[in-house]
Chain A
């Protein structure tokens, strides 16, 4: 299978602290890859670097063969790489549907003048987007709350909202930071289903940071283990579960 994304030893220092210390990762198309590791291992930091929020001190990141490190988050997103956040960050004062409606790329209404002048185009496009969003919200179980302000949602629903928003950007690589954190058991199941379905239907590649082992082991393959900003091990669930170093630092250590 073809590689869609790879990052070659990324370094990022916060003052003296080595947040990322030569971390490398390679993703194949249509896989669901996981990054696991103890807290402070630098998983979220790597997401921020890949998402363009922090510039890496050293190392290169390639997406679909293009170099994307040094680009702004919005430019990276437009290339087809979308990430979500560990603590669900919703646009609180906006309704759920507005939150999701914000996501679709190159909308007509994004330019000030066409927003004013091209009524028909704007209208029809938003209708089209809404049809997609409607079904998506139904799948995510957010349809009932579509007119709620996002800040009034429960933690799990916010996760759902964030994922739906990310999906609406129609990414080829979707980086989920603890998608099931704060979600109930059912919600977790729903999220896992959604991820697999998207992989199969839309052919989206996933990179997931997760703590819940059952999620990882059932959902993801391969798995990267991160330890103090470095690669510790990677491979399919079985190898990881049997890897000594991993057991030391992580599973029960």
Chain B
């Protein structure tokens, strides 16, 4: 029945955004690294995967239309190569960017990371030889052929990412991260290197964002630089804060709530006046929601739950 195919579409998008949310949880929720450059790493993953998997036909079209053609369409590698490349590139670029950024105090880090994401966005816009610029990359193959199987795939990957995030929370590395979050001086006095802890958290999160990017590219089958703008980042932040920072279930909840129901639900409402008003109203409500949540329920809908040793051992 078609309605399910629609739900499926939305569910896929929600799942992909949930991965971004979980990554942000590792960055900000666990380690207190406010990453406002999510869109950037999302883009890195998407482009890495798209460039490596786009078919020759795309390149021919580019050349036909009078463009250089460039990298996309040269390789035609399978999806698995694409997604691995997405992870690797996102991790490497995250590492390189982390070197200057991770020295900064949290709020400076936040602002600087916005700049980084914008730089990546403009890079994608202008390096035609690599990304074909604003035209973007299309004809990206969907690995499983049909959306239903792809949804299973996305769900599977989401499950893995979710498990990894949970696992990190419960094992030592997660404790170190949260120790860094709570008090760096103490944690380092207990023999844990602050910098490597932050860097690990940062790189792991960036890699996850890369995965999300790759999935998005193969799901949309077409990407343009215009998608990877700060608004994307802010959307992720908002649903993470609303759903419940530091609690992975809360993040899933937030994603379903904001990305799924809120954004889609408004599509069913009749347009009020000029067409641009409805999205504006939607954004206003999202903004107010964020403000109110932080004011009156800062821990979000589903807060962090104290881990019990009995459950652990």
Which A residues form the contact surface with B (CB < 8 A)?
51, 53, 72-75, 77-78, 82-83, 85, 89-95, 97-98, 101-103, 105, 107-112, 115-116, 122, 126-127, 130, 146-149, 165-166, 169
Min CB–CB distance A212 → chain B (angstroms):
24
Which B residues form the contact surface with A (CB < 8 A)?
164, 167-168, 171-176, 178-179, 181-183, 185-194, 200, 204, 304, 306-310, 312-313
Q: A110-B176, A126-B172 are in contact. List 16 more A-B contacts (CB 8 A).
A: A53-B185, A73-B185, A77-B190, A89-B185, A91-B183, A92-B182, A93-B181, A98-B175, A108-B172, A115-B167, A115-B174, A116-B164, A127-B313, A147-B306, A147-B308, A149-B306
C-alpha spacing A93/B188, complex, angstroms: 17
Residues of A within 8 A of B172 (CB): 101-102, 107-110, 115, 122, 126
Q: Which one of B172, B191, B194 has the greatest number of beta carbons of chain A within 10 Å?
A: B191
A74 touches B178 (CB 8 A): no
B190 touches A169 (CB 8 A): yes
A115 touches B178 (CB 8 A): no
C-alpha spacing A169/B187, complex, angstroms: 12
Residues of B within 8 A of A108 (CB): 172
Known: A94-B182, A102-B179, A115-B168. A82 touches B189 (CB 8 A): yes
Known: A72-B188, A102-B175, A116-B164. A130 touches B313 (CB 8 A): yes
3 nearest A-B residue pairs (beta carbon): A109-B172, A77-B191, A109-B171
Residues of B within 8 A of A90 (CB): 186
| 6 intermolecular pairs with C-beta atoms under 8 Å apart | A74-B194, A82-B191, A101-B175, A103-B191, A112-B204, A147-B309
Residues of A within 8 A of B179 (CB): 91, 94, 102
C-alpha spacing A183/B255, complex, angstroms: 46
C-alpha spacing A109/B169, complex, angstroms: 11
A115 touches B185 (CB 8 A): no
Residues of A within 8 A of B175 (CB): 94, 98, 101-102
Known: A98-B307, A101-B175, A126-B313. A112 touches B182 (CB 8 A): no
Known: A94-B179, A112-B173, A122-B172. A102 touches B190 (CB 8 A): yes
C-alpha spacing A75/B308, complex, angstroms: 30
Min CB–CB distance B33 → chain A (angstroms):
15
Known: A92-B182, A147-B309. A74 touches B171 (CB 8 A): no
Residues of A within 8 A of B308 (CB): 95, 147
A93 touches B178 (CB 8 A): yes
Min CB–CB distance A123 → chain B (angstroms):
8
- Chain A residue with the shortest CB-CB distance to B164: A116
Min CB–CB distance A168 → chain B (angstroms):
9
B186 touches A85 (CB 8 A): yes
Residues of A within 8 A of B168 (CB): 112, 115-116
Residues of B within 8 A of A112 (CB): 168, 173, 200, 204
B190 touches A116 (CB 8 A): no
- Chain B residue with the shortest CB-CB distance to A115: B171
Residues of A within 8 A of B164 (CB): 116
A74 touches B188 (CB 8 A): yes
C-alpha spacing A78/B196, complex, angstroms: 15
Min CB–CB distance B169 → chain A (angstroms):
10
C-alpha spacing A9/B225, complex, angstroms: 60
C-alpha spacing A51/B57, complex, angstroms: 63
- Chain A residue with the shortest CB-CB distance to B188: A73
Q: Which one of B182, B189, B312 has the greatest number of beta carbons of chain A within 10 Å?
A: B189
Contact among B167, B192, B200 with A74 in the assembled complex (CB-CB below 8 Å): B192
C-alpha spacing A72/B172, complex, angstroms: 21
- Chain B residue with the shortest CB-CB distance to A131: B313
Residues of A within 8 A of B309 (CB): 95, 97, 130, 146-147
Known: A73-B185, A92-B182, A127-B313. A122 touches B171 (CB 8 A): yes
